Structure 1
Amino acid sequence: MVSFSHLDDSVPEARWLSAVEGRSHLDPARLWPHGTGRLVVLAAHPDDETLGAGGLIALTAARGIAVDVVVATAGEASHPDSPTFSAEQLARVRRVELRDAVALLAPGATVHFLDLPDGGLARHRSELDAALAAIVGSAAKESTVLAAPWRSDGHTDHDTAGQAAAALARTMGLPLLEYPIWLWHWGQPGDVPENLVLLPLGDAAAAKKRAMDAHVTQVRPLSPEPGDEALLSPAVLAHFERSFESFALSTPRPPREVFEDLYQSSSDPWHFEDSFYEHRKRALCLAMLPRPHFSAVFEPGCSIGVFTRELAGRADAVLATDISDRALELARQRLASAGHVRLEQGTVPQDWPPGRYDLVVVSEIGYFLQHSALEELIERTSESLTDDGVVLLCHWRHPNEGWELTGDQVHEAFRARSGLQIIAEHREQDFRIDVLARTEAP
């Protein structure tokens, strides 16, 4: 985390103009090639949306693209020493300022206030994830584009908001535009992200300037009293009076495409068949189950069916799903003689099947989820268990590059929020296994 204050001297704007000169230009027509779609802009505080993406909002709305502005906090902590405004009063004023600013940029835009604590987004990350996912929608089309604060902006709320948007964009395969705010204040040219692109504003620059002025509590003093000084100095505002806006552009591919390519390049990308590590891990998982046989087993993320085949030997019926059609094709070849095994394409928690199971296997899939999806996975897993049902958790413990959650975080979330009892556990350097149940196993 960068340490800085808004009272610090701001990096001269002339240095930034020189540093970003020659960067590629962003063409909105490439984001919405069919002329229709949706822009969802996440802001950590009122004014972030205008400073970082006001021109984008105005240009997008002018093209007939629907705009949603999602504001995580009311910005009530911007003047903690104010003698004239309480936090509650400031929150009310800033909400009005936000609506006025957005109306100047995109009169038809929809505004969503989440009212999470200013300065405390990191502690409320799961709520932010869930709210943002609900607004974007579980079936967002390719024409939906997300914009959010840059993940490395140096302000804890900005970084958290950016991480939440990045996780959702990756999960749903949506383009993401990350706008720096405080980078321009504390940073140096070498801190500029490599994927930064510039959006020329044209006439939208004037609309952005009017919207910036609408955030009166931030650009002007609240009163002449100490503690009521303007938060954004003229030197800081100069970074947002440019003829362009800057975004770190990411265009993640949908997870299904990523996994399809993975299985097309290798029939066993994780070496399930020939790795001693995998053989030993599966043997430990099976040995830790509290009884030798189960009636109904559900295994999401079954991959090519190696563990599915071993589960089939201890069950009356097995339902196994995977995101990849190619993986399922390979699994069907492996399990051709197992008539009591059903293989289906799907992801969890979105495609959770009906019915109840006395064994649910959550193995090596939890860290591919967003925080809110993990919460839903835990809830659905618990709800689908029979009275004597068992959950088998098994995950790699090291960080997975490009994914936020770790195996340990997945297991701790299940242990804390599933309402199930821990009946067996195993931890070592590379992986861990937990077995959970409604009641103590015999």
Structure 2
Amino acid sequence: MNENQPNTLTPEYFNHVYQANRDPWNFETSPYEQGKYAATLAALPRPYYAEVFELGCSLGVLTAQLAPRCGHLLAVDVSEAALAQARARCAALPQVETKLMRVPEEFPPQQFDLILLSEVGYYWSSADLARAADQLLAALNPGGQLLLVHWTPPVHDYPLTGDDVHQFFLDKTSPSGSLRHLTGQRHETYRLDLLERI
């Protein structure tokens, strides 16, 4: 990663995307997305997490699937258009709280047992990824888990690749870091890594 990369993508970028198409990445209908959601949920080793933080919840498709395993699930996004759909989708799930939030400029005050960073990290600049990583690790309870899931092919608009994001966090694993790597999977166009706070 170098510091000459593009800036973090703005909320305006995502608002334009959702104005042009209510489901721009086919989260609701794509067999690829459904398979990835299934792999994401299957990678979580615990049946229940008391406090969960999902960054970039978008339309709330994965949020609704994750919710039954959560005591409280804070799902955030930078796009109000996306959040409106997430709120409607999760309206019957009282454990789900949706909030407009731009990390790392804003960050929730509570501690979490699980943080899900799925298809978000490559939207940050290198500097914002570093800031966000510090916030995420500080917000994880000891033994708390961080699940990373990202598309790996380069995308012209995105400051980073999925591999950049995952490697940044993997560099923080033991023996000297604050994280332990529990499991990793590499699929044709995405990868998944589960980390745990030591």
TM-score range, shorter chain: over 0.9
Amino acid at match of 2:143: D
Instruction: Summarize deviations over 1:400-426 as a string: whole Å, max 9, x none.
Output: 112231000100000103621110110
Amino acid at match of 1:263: Y
Identical-residue share of aligned pairs (%): 39
Shift of 1:429: 2.1
Instruction: Give the whole-Å Cα distance in 2 for the aligned partners of 1:278 and 1:355.
Output: 30
Instruction: Give the whole-Å Cα distance in 2 for the aligned partners of 1:404 and 1:344.
Output: 24
Instruction: Give the whole-Å Cα distance in 1 for the aligned partners of 2:197 and 2:172.
Output: 13
1:405 matches 2:164: no
1:262 matches 2:17: yes
Residue 382 of structure 1, aligned match among 134, 137, 151:
137
Instruction: Summarize deviations over 1:204-251 as a string: whole Å, max 9, x none.
Output: xxxxxxxxxxxxxxxxxxxxxxxxxxxxxxxxxxxxxxxxxxxxxxxx
**Residue 338 of structure 1 aligns to a residue in which SS?**
coil
- Computing the radius of gyration over CA atoms, which structure comes out larger, 1 or 2? 1
In structure 2, what is the equivalent of residue 353 of structure 1? 108
| Aligned Cα root-mean-square deviation (Å) | 1.4
Instruction: Give the whole-Å Cα distance in 1 for the aligned partners of 2:89 and 2:62.
Output: 11
**Residue 263 of structure 1 aligns to a residue in which SS?**
helix
Instruction: Give the whole-Å Cα distance in 2 for the aligned partners of 1:410 and 1:337.
Output: 33
Residue 337 of structure 1, aligned match among 77, 80, 92:
92
1:426 matches 2:193: no
Instruction: Give the whole-Å Cα distance in 1 for the aligned partners of 2:197 and 2:16.
Output: 39
In structure 2, what is the equivalent of residue 273 of structure 1? 28
Instruction: Summarize deviations over 1:47-71 as a string: whole Å, max 9, x none.
Output: xxxxxxxxxxxxxxxxxxxxxxxxx
1:322 matches 2:77: yes
Bigger helix share? 1
Instruction: Give the whole-Å Cα distance in 1 for the aligned partners of 2:77 and 2:38.
Output: 22
Instruction: Give the whole-Å Cα distance in 1 for the aligned partners of 2:182 and 2:36.
Output: 18
Amino acid at match of 2:133: I
Amino acid at match of 1:297: V
Aligned length: 194
1:437 matches 2:196: yes
Q: Which has the higher contact order (CA 8 A, sep 6+)?
A: 2
Matches within 5 A, 1:136-155: none
Shift of 1:388: 1.9
**Residue 171 of structure 2 aligns to a residue in which SS?**
helix
1:300 matches 2:59: no
Q: TM-score, normalised by structure 1?
A: 0.43
Runs of 4+ in 1 over 6 A off after TM superposition: none
Bigger strand share? 2
Matches within 5 A, 1:26-65: none
Question: Mind listing any 5+ residue stretches in structure 2 that lack a counterpart?
Answer: none
Instruction: Give the whole-Å Cα distance in 2 for the aligned partners of 1:332 and 1:354.
Output: 21
Kept in 2, the 8 Å contact 1:300–1:347? The answer is no
Kept in 2, the 8 Å contact 1:378–1:417? The answer is no
1:395 matches 2:143: no
1:416 matches 2:168: no
Matches within 5 A, 1:140-179: 163-164=4-5, 167-168=6-7, 171=8
Question: Mind listing any 5+ residue stretches in structure 1 that lack a counterpart?
Answer: 1-121, 130-162, 172-253
Instruction: Give the whole-Å Cα distance in 2 for the aligned partners of 1:354 and 1:400.
Output: 32
Residue 44 of structure 2, aligned match among 262, 286, 289:
289
Shift of 1:268: 1.0
In structure 2, what is the equivalent of residue 39 of structure 1? none
Kept in 2, the 8 Å contact 1:364–1:395? The answer is yes
